[in-house]
Every structure is written in structure tokens, then in C-alpha cells.
Structure 1
Amino acid sequence: MLTALWYGLGTAVPLFLGAAIGLLYNLPRPVLAGLMAFGAGAMVAAVSTELFAPAFADQGLWAAGGALMLGTVVYVVADRVIENMLGPAALGWALMLGALLDGVPENAALGTTLAAGSGGIVLLVAVAVGNIPEAVAGAASMRSALSHRSALLIWGVTAVLLVAVVVVVTAFADSLPEAGIPLIQAFAGGATIAVIADSLMPEAYREGGWWVGICTSLGFLVAFALGA
């Protein structure tokens, strides 16, 4: 159980630190754009190698693909609702929503990996690498709508929830249906793809321009190399 707690903190602390950086420091727009693009690339690597590939291998195209599309639709619809409610301030909330929709299934998958005794370090690194720029960008976008304390509290609650997911799933992994975790992973992959397409990359390109493609590839390469 202590190992699960440490792994949970390994995903949550980067998220919280990223949010604190985004709130407390006025990062230059090109730097913020580069971080978002780097995170997008890391998330692409995580989806392809750590989330969808295992689900596809275990459950096949139709089941894994259905879960992937469900995760995408859930994020897109929720993001649209937030955008209609908040307008220009929606980006930060959308990125936090993305952190939850992909973070909860990812951390659940991490918990089952720990319960199976197979380590989980690869997935831990991939999640942590993606969490930092996602939180930096999301929190920075919240500064105009919320006080620093309120925004930091929201991201802190999100981080605590992610820790709890790892601990609880590790403790009760034996009770989960065999097909549950691969489908949860595929769902997380779909939500992650939607975060990249709807929130991270459009904003990164708008703020950074043509060169963010280089940062995206670099993020993919780093995450892939860490997981190789």
C-alpha cells in the first residue's frame, strides 16, 4: 500500500507543481506554448504505447475502439459544455477536465499494474511527464477568472483524487473484472486524444507558431524513450 501511495504521489505532485508554476509565474507565451506542445507529444506516446495498445491486444479492435471513442466523446461533450458556460476562460477548466478524464483511468491502470507486481514505472513516467505542462497551461489560463488560492485549491483537490485512485485500485484490484482495466485504459486514451486535439495543440500553435511541431516531436521522443 505504501508503494501505491508513492506512485500516486509520483503522478500528482508534478500536476500540482505544474499548476503552481502556471499560477505564480508569468511565463512567456512561447515558453508556455512549447510546454503545451511538449506535453501533447508525451501524451501521444502514452496513448499509443501505454493505453490503447494493451487494450487492443487484450480486448480486440471493437471493444478497445469503442472504449477509445467513448472517452473521446465524453471529453468533447464536456469541453463543449464548459466552453459554452465560460467562454474565453474555458481553456484552463478544459485542461483540468482533461487531467481528470485521462488521469483517473491512467492512475487506475497504474494501480492494477502495481497489484500485479509488474512495476508500473513506465506508465508512471509517461503520466508524470504529461501532467506538468498540462497543469502549467491549465492553471495559467485560470488566472484571469480565479484567485491564485482558489485555482490552486482546485488543482490540489484534483491531485489528491489521483493519489486516491492509485491507492484504492491497488487495494481492490482483485475485485475488478478482467476486461475492466484494458477498457479503462482505452477510455483514457480517447480522452487524451481529445485533450490534445481540442485544447493543447490549437492553443500551443496559436501562442507559439510553427515551431511548436518540434516541441511536440521532442515530447513524443522523450516519453517513448523513457518507456522503451
Structure 2
Amino acid sequence: MLEAAGWGLLAGSALVLGALVGYLVKVPRDVVAAVMGFGSGVLMSAVAFDLIDEAHSLGGIGPTAVGAAAGAVVYTGANVVLARRGARHRKRSGGQQPSEQEQGGSGTAIAIGALLDGVPESVVIGASLLGGGGVSAVTVAAVFISNVPEGLSSAAGMRRAGRSPRYVFGLWCGIAVVSGLAAMLGYAVLAGADPVWLAGITAFAGGAILAMVADTMIPEAFEDAHLLVGLVTVAGFLVAFTLSRA
């Protein structure tokens, strides 16, 4: 359990690293968008070749399809609720994020949205230890690589919205800690689970992550790097694919 927590914390710490850069350094928006596109490609590859493939190996197409669809539906439903409360553009680096004065409660909604984005990834990291062969290095690497641009872009947007350093870094440090706890919980709860259930839960996380990429990461990548977003997304996809086959 402690090992799972450590790996989850490591992957989540990339959010803090990205937030430091995004808040303290004025990174050009086209660079932020390109990095976000790269992270999107990394996560899409991890979902396809690690999570969904693993779920299919464990339980077959039925639990995999149902789990992935359920994950996408649950994530999208929760995201719709949060969007109405000011968290729609939580990963955007421009002026799209509302300030607390513009929309009361948006800070809380953004914090909950960040949790919604990060927990499925961390649960999968913890679950990857259940086979007894050690953590899935590909999953940890994919989450870490993708978390850097997520934290960078979101923190840049928070700075533009006038949010304080205390709020920004308190949020991302808190999410990093929760990532460790979620990984530990994933290991503890899923230990001894039937392979069919494990397949469904793994696919559930994969569906939620894929919905998150499409809804929150790709729009940011396309807005300011639309001429290059295809190339950098494929580059991220290929990097993660290479790691999965190394």
C-alpha cells in the first residue's frame, strides 16, 4: 500500500512541477498549447495500449466496453455539473477561467474538477501493483508526463484569473497528496477482486481519462497550436507507445 501511495504521489507531483513553471514563468501560450497536445497524445496511448488492453486481457470485451462507457458517462456528467459552477476552463492557460469575483464558488469548482481529473489515473497506478510484478512503469510515466502540461496550463490560467499563489500551489500540492492516497486506495480496494471486476474498473478509469483528454486538454492544445497540434499529439502518442513496448 505504501509503495502504491509513493508511485501515486510521484505521478501527482508533476502537477506541482508544471504549476510552478506555469505560475512563475510567462510561458508563451503557443508553447503551453503544444505541450498540452503532447500530453494528450501520451494519455491517449496509455489508455489504448495499457488500460483498455489490460482490461480486455483480464475480462474480455464485455466488461471492458461497459466499464469504459460508464467511465466516460460518469466523468462527463460530473464535468457538466462543475462547468456550470465555473470549472469549465480549469485547464486553459488564457483568460477563460473566471475569477472568484466573476463567478462565486468557481475556485471550489476548479479544485473539485482537478480532483475529478486526477483520481482515475492514480487508482490505476495503484491497481497496476496487484499482479505482483511491480508497478506499471508505462502508466506512471504517462501520467507524470501528461501532468506537467496540465499543471502548467491550468496554473497559467489561474494566474490570469487573479488567483493567489497560496490557492494555486495549495491546490496542486493537495491534489498530489490525494493522488498518492487514491493510488493506495486503488491497491487496497481492488486486491483480491475478481478479474472481471478488475477489468471493468480499469476500463472505467480509461474511459474517464479519455473523456477528460477530449473535453479539457485537446481544446487548449488546439486553440493556440492548431497548425501543429496534430504533430505534437502524435509525437506524445508515439513516445508513450514506445515506452509500453520497451
Q: TM-score, normalised by structure 2?
A: 0.81
Instruction: Give unmatched runs, 5+ long, in structure 1.
Output: none
Q: Which residue of 2 aligns with 1:17?
A: 17
1:171, distance to aligned residue in structure 2 (A): 4.6
1:211, distance to aligned residue in structure 2 (A): 0.9
1:140-179 alignment to 2 at 5 Å? 140-143=156-159, 144-171=161-188, 173-179=190-196
1:39, distance to aligned residue in structure 2 (A): 0.5
1:36, distance to aligned residue in structure 2 (A): 0.7
Code of the aligned partner of 2:155:
A
Equivalent position to 1:109, from 109, 116, 124: 124
Instruction: Give unmatched runs, 5+ long, in structure 2.
Output: 93-106
1:208 counterpart = 2:189 = no
2:44–2:210: 8 Å Cα contact kept in structure 1? yes
Q: Which residue of 1 aligns with 2:207?
A: 190
Aligned partner of residue 118 in structure 1, secondary structure: coil
Post-superposition CA distance 1:32-79 (Å, at most 9, x none): 001110000001101101111111222222321121111112222222
- Number of residues paired by the alignment? 228
Q: Which residue of 1 aligns with 2:30?
A: 30
Post-superposition CA distance 1:78-136 (Å, at most 9, x none): 22222222277544589876754453233223223324321222221122112111221
Q: Which residue of 2 aligns with 1:85?
A: 85
Supply the distance in 2 between the matched residues of 1:43 and 1:96 (Cα, whole angstroms).
Answer: 21
Supply the distance in 1 between the matched residues of 2:113 and 2:46 (Cα, whole angstroms).
Answer: 14
1:24–1:148: 8 Å Cα contact kept in structure 2? no
Supply the distance in 2 between the matched residues of 1:177 and 1:6 (Cα, whole angstroms).
Answer: 25
Code of the aligned partner of 1:140:
A
2:55–2:199: 8 Å Cα contact kept in structure 1? yes
Supply the distance in 2 between the matched residues of 1:140 and 1:150 (Cα, whole angstroms).
Answer: 13
Q: Which residue of 1 aligns with 2:3?
A: 3
Code of the aligned partner of 2:144:
A
- Range moving further from structure 2, 184-193 or 92-101: 92-101
Aligned partner of residue 78 in structure 1, secondary structure: helix
1:46–1:223: 8 Å Cα contact kept in structure 2? yes
1:56–1:64: 8 Å Cα contact kept in structure 2? yes
Code of the aligned partner of 1:181:
L
- Range moving further from structure 2, 36-45 or 95-104: 95-104
Q: Name the CA shift for 1:211/1:14 in 2 (closer, same or farther; >3 Å).
A: same
Supply the distance in 2 between the matched residues of 1:185 and 1:163 (Cα, whole angstroms).
Answer: 17
Aligned partner of residue 179 in structure 1, secondary structure: helix
Code of the aligned partner of 1:71:
G
Aligned partner of residue 214 in structure 1, secondary structure: helix
Q: TM-score, normalised by structure 1?
A: 0.87
Q: Which residue of 1 aligns with 2:100?
A: none
Q: Name the CA shift for 1:101/1:52 in 2 (closer, same or farther; >3 Å).
A: farther
1:108–1:181: 8 Å Cα contact kept in structure 2? no
Aligned partner of residue 210 in structure 1, secondary structure: coil
